[in-house]
Amino acid sequence: MARPRKPLLSRDRIVDTARTLVDTEGLAAVSTRRLAAELGVSGPSLYNHFRTKDQILEAVADSVSAQVDLSMFDAPEDGADRDWRTALHDWAVSYRAALRAHPNIVPVLAQGPGRRPAGLRLADAVFGAMVDAGWPPPQATSIGALMRYFVTGSALGSFAGGFPDDEAAYDPADYPHLGQAHLLAERQEAVDDRAFETGLTALLDGLAVQYEQVATAAATATPTDR
């Protein structure tokens, strides 16, 4: 039997093509008509895999969530206690890297995991690791939400990239402290990376203080309190 001239249509192929469109042209570029044209198929054939455009965008978002490394939450092979702070830091770095590689899909991801499998696995891994580390479930939930707010916000845009690289835009009479602001754009990656690490360290430092308070409260609680 002769091989088909075009690759067979599959869910993964649709998602890969849609993700490329989102990456290069934005969310508005995705439509079933455009996808069908890019894939070289008829529009109705897409409905064998996805009923709506929104379902396609949800799948694209989940494919990005699947790129986030979760291995730091695995139990150590030697049975040692897991370092929740280091794990949370490394996960946040991986999470941000995935979002920065696909910034146009961030608004969809920011809505929460919904029913997306990879998104739910991500939430489950963070929550489970925090509870296993000794955080009470309500605070573990808050930590997961806090980290998502922080990482998602950092991926929505560039602080440094928002400043014009035109020195004339910063009249000293109006902006006496922005004499070097025109240099931010060309140093965008370094500035944004440093800002992210500064914020992440401050956030984790604050959580470490809370963690000590939680541990102290647990150690001094009476049987009635527990």
* pLDDT by residue, tens only, the chain of 226 residues: 455 555 689 999 999 999 999 999 999 999 999 999 999 998 788 999 999 999 999 999 999 999 999 999 998 776 667 799 999 999 999 999 999 999 999 999 999 999 999 999 999 999 999 999 999 999 999 999 999 999 999 998 899 999 999 999 999 999 999 999 999 999 999 999 999 999 999 999 999 999 999 988 888 876 665 5
b vs e for 1-40, b when ≥16 Cβ sit within 10 Å of the residue's Cβ?
Answer: eeeeeeeebeeeebbebbbebbbeeebebbebebbbeebe
**Model pTM above 0.85:** yes
Q: In this structure, are residues 204 and 85 in contact, taking their beta carbons and an 8 Å threshold?
A: yes
Query: How far is residue 146 CA from its own chain's centroid?
Result: 12
